[in-house]
Amino acid sequence: MFKWLNLCLYLSISLAGFSQVKDLPPYRFDDKSLVSDSILHIVLPEILVFPQQKDWSRRAFHQYTILEMRVIKVYPIAKLAAKKLNEYNSVYTTFKDERERKAYVKKIEKDLFAEFETEIRSMSIAQGRILIKLIDRETGKSSYEIIKEFKGGFAAFFWQGVARIFGHNLKSEYDAANEDKMIEYIVWQIDHGML
């Protein structure tokens, strides 16, 4: 008896699955109303969530303010460096002779020293560290890789040693999700005209 009840139950469930109406009109939208059931699909932009400043301690707020001032000073230089690197790289790759490449790199160095020497010499060590990170953010290459590409491995090794003396690392990479999330927040504010 119990087996027959189970069999009837299974048959009724399976028949109920086929009782839906076929030949429904396609989903479409009118200006006034929905013709049939549908689910709207909207892609929302990414939303960044950062801690509110009112929740910070006095010390954390002070450190953030100092970091903000440093990034505001250094970020335009990093953006300009990325722009110039793209320009220089497009010309640099056209040269086939190594002698022409070296002459071009010397010309680039001379131009860059004339334009940025006073700004870079007046930077603090912390601002230099942020500049190295932001150059990596803007170009997708560490400063070490850029020097190695243009000047060679020995020059990159030499400047890495000089940077290590002053507490920098030319191989450091930008980590927007963890270590550099506050820098990323400040850059986001600058890009959106909030700072």
pLDDT on residue 160 = 83
| Torsion from C-alpha of 167, 168, 169, 172, nearest 10 degrees | 120
Report the alpha-carbon distance of residue 96 to residue 158 in Å, rounded.
26
- Are 98 and 136 a contacting pair, CB within 8 Å? no
- The pLDDT, as a whole number, for residue 32 is 52
At CA 46, angle to CA 186 and CA 187, rounded to 5? Answer: 15
Rounded-to-integer distance, Cα 5 and Cα 85, Å: 78
Tell me how far the alpha carbon of residue 188 is from its chain's centroid.
Answer: 10
Amino acid at 59: R
Q: Per residue of the chain (195 residues), give pLDDT as tens.
A: 667 766 666 666 655 555 455 555 555 555 555 555 566 778 888 776 766 666 678 888 888 889 999 999 999 888 888 888 888 877 777 877 888 888 888 888 888 888 878 888 888 888 888 888 888 888 888 888 888 877 788 888 888 888 888 777 888 888 878 888 888 888 888 888 877
Q: Is 128 within 8 Å of 159 (Cβ atoms)? A: no
Note the pLDDT of residue 30.
53
